[in-house]
Amino acid sequence: MRKKIAILAAIGIMAAGTAYASGYRIPEQSINGVALSNAYIAHTEGADTTYYNPANMGWQEDRWQLEVSASYINLPHIDYTDYGDSARNGSSETENIFIPMFHALSPDYNNFRFGFAFVVPYGLSKRWNDPFPRTFSEEFTLKVFEANPSLSYKFCDWFGVAAGARLLHTTGNKVKSSGNILVDTGAGLVPAYISRDMDGDSTDLGYNLAMTVKPTKEWNIAATYRSKVDMGLTGSATLYTNFPSSYTYNGDARLEVVTPAVLTIGTSYTFFDRTTVELTWDKTYWGDYKQLDFNYNDTLLNPILIAAFDAPKAKNWHDSNAYRIGITHKCTDRFTAMIGFAYDETPIPSETIGFELPGSDALLFSFGGRYQVNEHLELGGAYLLDHKKTRTIENSANTSGINGKFEDAGAHVVTLGMIYKF
């Protein structure tokens, strides 16, 4: 039996199924990184150099350095107001996430230095319980862990390079959606219920490169590159619909997604040996995210589920830029203060934006400090505010039928940690 099937809004239902392609990148991965809004490439201090710019390891203190820290991330609820039907309005749940971070830096060995970082470069969660949004994204939970060993070599007092390996592991991912859609049977629109419950895991490899040039003692120029990682998430899926009759798929599922490459260039200048100003630009190559395509071990036999969860969905994201400035000031021999600001573009076009990530351009404000307790121990803390601009979407411009505005999105990040040197 063949029917003409037009699923209103089903084009967007697949969007919540991707882990990395939703733009959930967390660039701030240390006390300094959070305090400076990630304007922290050219001028780095301490063990977190291993992650931000391992080429700078050759200029760090010649002893072991460790940093252990954790970030608390609060994601306030996002309000969606539909311009055509107030019944489609909704608010996401408030989310609270904790992420651990660890950095280690070795002493100098004939101009070679070894570093290791354990970070969470992608993560976060989004849940909607209102009827219309939950049809697209009832729950989207992502956990990505990265182990990043690196090796640097300092050729001379003004030039150094580094390279590292990226081991990315994602586990505990959860994608759920459920709700009613409208099906055009040719004789009229008929409501149909669909639902999805999926999980997936993956372990994949990448690399990173870094270079630093110091034209003078006070002036640093640096560039880093983190490679694209092609990830093959494998897991299980439970799909269900009651139209035209009850049908359930239980089986394995696979999704090929891309963790985009990131290029960062920064320059810093230190005034009077106390105040350092850094300007940083980074480009995230989200343009590699063209479409979303799930694959199942068994063929789906229901045309509704095929259209909603199997047919490839165009995403067509574009590369995004971030512009950052950070200021580090050594107030006393023991206390260092930091402040940062950034403007971060969204990669998501209006045509394919969805409830799993109603992203918009963001303004970031941050501050923090480090206090040296003694020659071995240093304590630090930082706060960052991520303020998302209101995003307005016109129905004619969106393939998911979204016709309204997203507002009050953003994030609060509080980071505390300690640095130990020996």
* 1, part of any domain: no
pLDDT of residue 24: 66
Question: Which pairing describes strands 219-226 and 229-241: parallel, antiparallel, or unpaired?
Answer: unpaired
* 205, part of any domain: yes
**pLDDT in 10s for each residue of the chain, 422 residues:** 333 333 333 333 333 333 332 356 788 999 999 999 999 999 999 999 999 999 999 999 999 999 999 999 998 999 999 998 898 899 988 889 899 999 999 999 999 999 999 999 887 677 888 888 877 776 777 788 999 999 999 999 999 999 999 999 988 777 788 888 888 777 888 888 888 888 888 999 999 999 999 999 999 999 999 999 988 888 898 999 998 888 889 999 987 777 889 999 999 999 999 999 999 999 999 898 888 788 898 888 888 888 888 888 888 889 999 999 999 999 999 999 999 999 999 998 988 888 877 889 999 999 999 999 999 999 999 999 999 999 998 877 777 778 899 999 899 999 999 999 99
Question: Which pairing describes strands 262-271 and 219-226: parallel, antiparallel, or unpaired?
Answer: antiparallel
Task: Kindly state the tokens that stand for 301.
Answer: 């036999």
Question: Are residues 404 and 80 in contact, defined by beta-carbon separation less than 8 angstroms?
Answer: yes
d(CA 11, CA 64): 53
Q: H helices of 87-155, where? A: 131-137
d(CA 237, CA 124): 21
- Give bridge partners of residue 414 from the DSSP assignment: 72, 383
* 118, part of any domain: yes
* 4, part of any domain: no
The range of the structural domain enclosing residue 359 comes to: 10-421
pLDDT of residue 13: 37
Q: Tell me the residue type at 7.
A: I
d(CA 114, CA 105): 6
Question: CATH number of the domain that 77 lies in?
Answer: 2.40.160.60
* 244, part of any domain: yes
* 188, part of any domain: yes
Provide the phi-psi class of 291: left if phi over 0, else alpha when psi is between -120 and 50, else beta.
beta
Q: Which of 74, 50, 70 is nearest to 120 (CA)?
A: 70
pLDDT of residue 164: 98
* 3, part of any domain: no
Number of domains forming the structure of the chain: 1
pTM as predicted: 0.89
pLDDT of residue 332: 97
Q: Which of 20, 17, 14, 22 is nearest to 230 (CA)?
A: 20
